């Protein structure tokens, strides 16, 4: 699996990658520790604001809370077995970059490593900690985006629970049905 | 478009429908008003807890806040043009059930109407209002689920912004790669 070349991507277009609801990999680092987790529970809360659920039993919860940083990585179908494997072991026991032969790429704005093999990487800073305590909900500001220029529509994976995944399919557009002010110029 | 027959669905399995990230229709009612909105910003916050972003400029925001109830409906590809139309007009100006020839089905646990033509309907009660004020984030407890027994995997629509949608594709499973405790018995 090769590291994918990326281009800078405007943070206010984060929805283009995350709104369809793909499984993401969240990478974190704190002092000499680093972690990757698989996550299907996330949402946009603004053009450059993302909420992610990180269970407090996950090692990533502690690293995210202490560092107040993460990278949201968007893997594609070719990484499916690694994505499942990452979700089924703990960063307490193993370095997942090593185990799954993934490339830790240095970020520009955060210390957490980007997963080089993913189609997109969003460097994020934590906005607040109240929801972290209440719901294990981390509210992130996206501070830097990196997206591979091709394919235009990555083949993403979407979890249903029970070991089952939906893979992204056909693309359709309905721009003519939109009010002009609902679309970018 | 026909109303779909549903079966009772365990609320703790809500992820099966929502975690893949489909566009949803949120229906609300308050006194003599009712509304439907299109929403792509939502996430699981627990097995039977869902967060949805409802912009405070949307009429649905007020109805949801006042009634503290909603129904989360999952439309399929055959409803795409209605889903787009619903997102491009306001319930302040028009009754969307009438305009889009949708059937308002009575709920069991909430006053908000279910959209009969959708594949799944989740009746929801509001848990708190702090996040409503902070982020336009409504945190819902799912109190009753209704899901059509077939097809097993509905053809859902997933928004990318810019008038573009991804349609759910192939289904794959990787149960053998999961730790047994990560799967239901």
A73's enclosing H/E stretch is strand A69-74
Length of chain B: 185
* CATH code for the domain of B82: 2.30.110.10
Which chain A residues in 49-108 lie under 8 Å from chain B, judged by CB atoms? Answer: 49, 51, 53, 80-81, 84-85, 87-88
Q: Using the predicted structure, report yes or no on whether residue B118 has a pLDDT greater than 90.
A: yes
Domain annotation covers residue A1: no
Q: What is this structure's pTM?
A: 0.97
Per-residue CA distances from A127 to A67, A109, A139, B13 (Å): 12, 15, 6, 30
Q: Is the pLDDT of residue A185 over 80?
A: no
Q: What are residue A102's phi and psi, to 5 degrees?
A: -105, 150
Rounded to the nearest 10°, the torsion over CA A60, A65, A70, A75 is 30
C-alpha–C-alpha distance, residues B9 and A172, integer Å: 30
Give buried/exposed letters for B154-168 (b at 16+ CB in 10 A, else e): bbbbbbbbebbbbbb
What is the rounded distance in angstroms from the CA atom of residue B21 to the CA atom of residue B167? 11
Mean pLDDT of A124-131: 96
Supply the pLDDT for residue A23: 98
Q: How many helices (H) and strands (E) does chain B have?
A: 5, 12
Q: What is the pLDDT of residue B182?
A: 85
**For B37, phi and psi rounded to 5 degrees?**
-135, 155
Would you call A172 an interface residue with chain B, using a CB distance cutoff of 8 Å? yes
Label residue A1 by pLDDT band (50, 70, 90).
confident
**Residue B56 within any structural domain of the chain:** yes
Q: What ipTM did this prediction achieve?
A: 0.97
Q: Which of A164, A176, A181, A182 to mutate to test the interface with B (most CBs of B within 10 A)?
A: A164
Q: How confident is the model at residue A182 (pLDDT cuts 50, 70, 90)?
A: confident
Residue B87 with chain A: CB contacts under 8 Å: 178, 182
Phi then psi dihedrals of residue B149, to 5 deg: -70, -20
**Position B18 confidence tier, pLDDT thresholds 50, 70, 90:** very high
d(CA B32, CA B10): 30
User: A119: Cβ–Cβ under 8 A, 6 or more apart, which residues?
Assistant: A4, A17, A74, A75, A76, A147, A148, A154, A156
Q: What digits encode the pLDDT tens for the residues A98-124?
A: 999 999 999 999 999 999 999 999 999
| Cis check: omega of the bond before A151, within 30 degrees of 0 | yes
Residue B1 covered by a domain: no
Domain residue limits at A47: 7-182
Does any domain span residue A153? yes
Cβ A48 vs Cβ A90: under 8 Å: no
| pLDDT value for B160 | 97
> Pairing mode, if any, of strands A157-159 and A69-74?
unpaired
Model confidence over A64-73: pLDDT tens digits? 999 999 999 9
* A84 lies in some domain: yes
Mind telling me how many Å the CA of A180 is from chain B's nearest CA? 10
Tell whether the model's pLDDT for residue B185 goes beyond 80.
no
Residue A59 vs residues A38, A43, A55: alpha-carbon distances, Å:
12, 21, 9
The tokens for A89 are: 């072991």
Q: Which tokens belong to A144?
A: 């830097």
d(CA A96, CA A122): 19
- What total of structural domains would you count in chain A? 1
Q: Is residue A55 part of a domain?
A: yes
Whether B67 shows a pLDDT value over 80: the answer reads yes
Instruction: Give the angle A66-A70-A72 at the CA atoms, nearest 5°.
Output: 155
Structural tokens at position A43: 């949402």
For residue range A152-171, list pLDDT tens digits in order.
999 999 999 999 999 999 99
- Residue range B117-144: average pLDDT? 97
| Inside any domain, residue B2 | no
How close is the nearest chain B Cα to the Cα of A63, in Å?
A: 20
Grade residue B21 by pLDDT with cuts at 50, 70 and 90: very high
Q: Does any domain span residue A2?
A: no
């Amino acid at each position: 699996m090769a590291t994918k070349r990326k281009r800078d991507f405007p943070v206010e277009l984060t929805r283009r990658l995350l709104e369809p609801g793909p499984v993401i990999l969240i990478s974190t680092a704190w002092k000499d520790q680093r972690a990757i987790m698989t996550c299907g529970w996330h949402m946009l809360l603004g053009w450059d604001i993302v909420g992610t659920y990180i269970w407090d039993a996950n090692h990533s919860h502690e690293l995210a809370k202490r560092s107040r940083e993460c990278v949201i990585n968007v893997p594609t179908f070719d990484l499916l077995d690694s994505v499942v494997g990452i979700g089924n072991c703990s960063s307490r026991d193993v370095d997942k970059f090593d185990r799954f032969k993934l490339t830790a790429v240095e970020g520009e704005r955060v210390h957490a490593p980007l997963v080089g093999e993913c189609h997109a990487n969003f460097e994020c800073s934590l906005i607040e900690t109240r929801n972290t305590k209440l719901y294990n909900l981390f509210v992130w500001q996206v501070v830097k985006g990196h997206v591979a220029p091709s394919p235009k529509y990555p083949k993403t994976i979407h979890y249903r629970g029970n070991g089952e995944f939906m893979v992204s399919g056909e693309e359709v557009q309905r721009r003519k049905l939109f009010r002009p002010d609902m679309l970018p110029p």
